[in-house]
Structure 1
Amino acid sequence: MKISSEQPTESVNFVFYGERPCLDFANTLRRRRDPLHPTVDLLGPTKSLTSWIDTGRSKASWAKDLPGLQMNTDEINALHIGELRDAIILLAEHKLEDSENTSTKSLITAVDTLNKWSAKAPQYFLSMKDDCEGFLLRPTLTPEQILGFVAQDAIIFFGTESSKRLKTCSHERCGILFEDRSNGMKRQWCSMKECGNRMKARRYTQKVATSLDSQQRENQ
């Protein structure tokens, strides 16, 4: 997989269409089906784990109550981010394709990676307010614990019936993963704004063009 190390020419930002932390985290590696659009790592040099979480607070329900990070994300090795993200993507692709091409060794390694990082999930402590009239939640949240939080969610997702709702956006150039929580599992797109409206407009244009072509043939 070729990953672009340069700033993409199009505007590519964090998206939170996955419905859960592990899929939104996987989607920070914008994988494209179109070879003309290289895969872009949104957690690369220009952006960070901190900015991903900060953006998620305003866009993803699961991130709204997460506290701020307690240290700079530069203190976590980028290889750790890639290791966890690659494990989630591998398990997702295996689930979607029910592929026999994925080696047992790769699957075991991915599972071990999730379990290893899950052990680093955040811890929360309760304490009294200074006036002793209420309580405060004292979380500890470091970059490693963010990855632990994501890994824990991935374990719950892949280990339960929820994984049956895993889908990839139907747009031919999109590779965004999401959990389809719609009634009847009829969701096709990562979002209507991102891909759905574009595909509908394209189909309408094709329909009009086909209709005009048919009329021209009839008039000949």
Structure 2
Amino acid sequence: MTSETANTPAPGHIADHLALDFLNTVAQVENQPHDFFQTDADVIRWLNDVGYASHAGEVKTRSGALLKAARELRAVILHAVEQKKNGGVWQTERLNHFLRSAISHPELTLNQQGQTEYHRVYASATPEQQLAPVAEQAADLLANGDFALVRNCEHPDCTLWFYDRTKAHRRRWCSMAVCGNRAKAARFRQMSQQ
């Protein structure tokens, strides 16, 4: 990995589903697969970015345990999504391992404007508990998602997933600004060479 690759920001939350955004933490960078989870801190940062790590930084687990669990969960979700997308069979047990660790309760809070907000608070004593909200999102996708709308980016050099929530359901690219523009530029180059 080059120093430039190490400093590349992870793909934004472009998948329109948290479980697919979690899968997108492995992406093509400089035409090579790159895992944006290199340390426990990377996983905590991602969980914070999606609003699921209020206490994750305070957890005292052995170094690398959260990273290992995140990579395991990501592999489990990827296998299940690929199997479901292709009409294959997948086993629920490995995902259920993470789901069984979920300990949560609803909680009311007052925001800065004094308005009541309702949200779910998760226990975070173990890496599996820290990742339980992601496992729950994946379980919901696998049980309730319309897999005709779960897609890979059509750009041949891209491996990112997304859930097509567009009105016409014709989304083709992970991001029009990145892969969509690359495809347009490639078509333009090809047409101009003819």
With normalisation by structure 1, the TM-score equals 0.69
Q: Which amino acid aligns with 1:115?
A: N
Gaps of 5+ in 2: none
Residue 68 of structure 1 aligns with which residue? 54
TM-score between both structures, scaled by the size of structure 2: 0.78
Instruction: For 1:133-148, list aligned pairs within 5 A.
Output: 139-142=121-124, 143-148=127-132
**Using the alignment, how far apart are the partners of 1:52 and 1:147 within structure 2?**
11
* % identical equivalent positions: 23
Q: Is the 8 A contact 2:39 2:67 kept in 1?
A: no
Coordinate RMSD, CA, aligned: 3.0
**CA, structure 1 residues 43+135, in 2 after alignment: closer, same or farther (shift >3 Å)?**
same
Q: For 1:94 and 1:71, locate their aligned partners in 2 and report how far apart those are by CA, in whole Å.
A: 34
2:158 partner SS? coil
Give the structure with the higher percent helix.
1
What's the counterpart of residue 60 of structure 1?
none
Letter of the structure 1 residue corresponding to residue 104 of structure 2: Q
- Which of these residues, 93, 96, 100, is aligned with residue 112 of structure 1? 93
CA separation in 2, counterparts of 1:8 and 1:93? 32
**Structure 1 gaps, min length 5:** 1-5, 57-62, 211-220
For the residues of structure 2 that align with 1:176 and 1:199, how far apart are their CA atoms? 15
Corresponding residue of 1:79: 68
Partner of 2:35: 41
Larger radius of gyration: 1
Q: CA deviation at 1:124?
A: 2.9
CA distance in 2, matches of 1:87, 1:190: 22
Q: 1:138-180: per-residue Cα shift (whole Å, max 9, x none)?
A: 8345253341111111111111243331100011100001111
Count of residue correspondences: 183
How far off is 1:70 after superposition?
4.0
CA, structure 1 residues 203+127, in 2 after alignment: closer, same or farther (shift >3 Å)? Answer: closer
